[in-house]
Structure 1
Amino acid sequence: MIALDFGFGALEQDFWRVVFLMTRIGAALLAAPLFGGASVPVTVRTCITGALAIFASIWMPAIPVPPALLSVEGLLAVAGEVLVGVTLGFVLQLAFAAPRLAAEVIAGSMGMSMAVSADPQGGGQTTAFGQYFNIVLVLIFLSLGAHLHWIALLMESYRAFPPGQTWLGPERLSLVIGFAGEMFATALRIGLPVTLILLLVQFMTGVLSRAAPSLNLFALGLPAAVLAGIAALIITAPLLHEQLTDLSQQAIAQTARVLR
């Protein structure tokens, strides 16, 4: 497994085998939104990666492993493992980016784009509605057991792409890029009902300000937009649940297509 020999024999070979398997799993968990969030401690992520690598080495002992990691062949195999893991995690990132994109549009229409908070997933900042949509998507994703299906697909990737045959090809990469279009379409479907209601409210506010110029447009329009936006989110909550459920299922299905 490595050019160095510390004299532990088979135990050392098993150790480097697990370390090699941790490469793909760790890259996938780091790129995935749930496991790779800034709020997840590195120690927890490393323990999960090591546990999954040990299970993979036991369940699939026939996985080919390069004889020496500190070689050109070994480094190319590691790079291929990282490519597959990042690709599988990036599919989930695209799915979780859809509600954040919709939240940015809704918050801008309501005049609440300046109400931002820390994003525990990405480590940056997001709007309050972005946090709301993200929490709802995480709960739906976990309730469907989609995280278990994704981990199962990650294990299945060792059969679809054994080490040394990890070049995905333009067809599979185009599937990932095409899923980005679905992400934009889902964000549009989430934000369209609320933005249409806000557009009507702004239209009515403009008519009132035109009919009665003495009214303060900013004092009237901002509270009306906020109240209308919150009411629209409450009304469209069942539709949001259905859309996020479909999005979670599409993310798992798209990951399976990449492996095929």
Structure 2
Amino acid sequence: MLSSPTLAALLLASIRAAAWLLISPPFNSKAIPNMVKALLAVAIALPLTPQLAGQLPDITAATMLIGAIEQVIAGVALGFLTSLVFAAVQAAGDLLDIFGGFSLATAFDPLSMAASSVFGKFYQMLCTTLLLVSGAYQFVLLGFTKTYSVLPLNGTLSLGTLSELITGGLADLFVATLQIAGPIIAVLFCADLALGLLSKAAPALNAFSLGFPVKIFLTLALAGIGISVLPGVIDGLTDRAVRLMMEGAGS
């Protein structure tokens, strides 16, 4: 028979985990049923319940309601920090779509409920696949479980620290995006420059009519090189995501 503090700790810990799973990749995909996410949240919180039971000195309806709201805020904040890191991969694919001419071929994605282009969606799916296949998701889960010891159930997030981390995370997002897509974008810019010079030197050739086919060919030819470095990028992003969660929790 479980005691009241144990059940209360399990409930609050599961609420934080559920809020985190709804936002954090790779678990935020709509391909994962909500029932599975709920069970996974309980599975994350259950082993931690004995050590969390002593963090709730007073159990009343008011404290449980306030505690549930605080855990939702904590889970959403930690999930947003995690998703902010891995969003760099999809952002790099979106940049390739813009500079490579694939942004014209957008399609509605029923999983994200938004329109996405070719490389943006492909890079997102590849990131999710690499997280699952390489086992990097286990380190992300481990980092999240460590937040329970850094930020107890009766603790609160520091809004000042959280705002600094979000600001720094956005800067890291742009830097990582340029690091992933920058080399290919530089080649595409050189191709545009070469076509412009060719059009000036020989206007009769109508070089700009070759712009889209040439840029699409270069993007497809160089995409393999960009994809080959993604496993190393995912390793670095995983480490960054774990450190952001720990710092956001107050470590």
Q: Same fold (TM over 0.5)?
A: yes
Q: How does 1:91-102 map to 2 (within 5 A)?
A: 91-102=81-92
Higher share in helix: 2
| Structure 2 SS opposite 1:214 | helix
- Contact in 2 for aligned 1:63/1:158 (Cα 8 Å): no
* 1:253 maps onto 2:243 in alignment: yes
Among all aligned residue pairs of Structure 1 and Structure 2, give the percentage whose two residues are the same amino acid.
24
Alpha-carbon deviation of 1:173? 3.7
Query: Paired residue for 1:64, among 56, 63, 70?
Result: 56
In 1, Cα distance between the equivalents of 2:43 and 2:57? 18
Alpha-carbon deviation of 1:244? 3.3
In 1, Cα distance between the equivalents of 2:146 and 2:120? 32
| Structure 2 SS opposite 1:167 | coil
In 2, Cα distance between the equivalents of 1:17 and 1:246? 33
Query: Paired residue for 2:80, among 79, 86, 90?
Result: 90
Pick closer, same or farther for the CA change 1:63–1:101 going to 2, 3 Å. Answer: same
Alpha-carbon deviation of 1:158? 2.0
RMSD between superposed Cα atoms in Å: 2.5
| Structure 1 SS opposite 2:84 | helix
List gaps (5 residues or longer) in structure 1: 1-8
One-letter amino acid matched to 1:176: I
- Contact in 2 for aligned 1:66/1:74 (Cα 8 Å): no
Q: Could you say which residue in structure 2 is the equivalent of 1:4? A: none
Alpha-carbon deviation of 1:179? 1.6
One-letter amino acid matched to 2:12: F
Q: Could you say which residue in structure 2 is the equivalent of 1:175? A: 165
In 2, Cα distance between the equivalents of 1:24 and 1:74? 13
Query: Paired residue for 1:53, among 20, 38, 45?
Result: 45
Alpha-carbon deviation of 1:11? 6.8
Q: How does 1:123-134 map to 2 (within 5 A)?
A: 123-134=113-124
Per-residue CA distance 1:86-117 (angstroms, 9 max, x = gap): 12111221112112222222111111102223
List gaps (5 residues or longer) in structure 2: none
One-letter amino acid matched to 2:104: M
Alpha-carbon deviation of 1:203? 1.5
Q: How does 1:216-231 map to 2 (within 5 A)?
A: 216-231=206-221
In 1, Cα distance between the equivalents of 2:37 and 2:4? 23
Q: Could you say which residue in structure 1 is the equivalent of 2:29? A: 37
* 1:24 maps onto 2:16 in alignment: yes
If the length of structure 2 is used for normalisation, what is the TM-score?
0.87
Per-residue CA distance 1:145-170 (angstroms, 9 max, x = gap): 33222222322222212222123241
Pick closer, same or farther for the CA change 1:118–1:41 going to 2, 3 Å. Answer: farther
| Structure 2 SS opposite 1:228 | helix
- Contact in 1 for aligned 2:108/2:115 (Cα 8 Å): yes
Alpha-carbon deviation of 1:132? 2.1
Pick closer, same or farther for the CA change 1:13–1:250 going to 2, 3 Å. Answer: closer
Per-residue CA distance 1:42-98 (angstroms, 9 max, x = gap): 111111112223233246443426512x32x33222221112111211122111211
Pick closer, same or farther for the CA change 1:21–1:200 going to 2, 3 Å. Answer: same
- Contact in 2 for aligned 1:28/1:88 (Cα 8 Å): yes
Alpha-carbon deviation of 1:250? 1.5
Per-residue CA distance 1:119-160 (angstroms, 9 max, x = gap): 466432222111222233223323443322222232222221
One-letter amino acid matched to 1:153: G
Moved more, 194-203 or 139-148: 139-148
In 1, Cα distance between the equivalents of 2:151 and 2:177? 32
If the length of structure 1 is used for normalisation, what is the TM-score?
0.84
Query: Paired residue for 2:96, among 73, 84, 106?
Result: 106
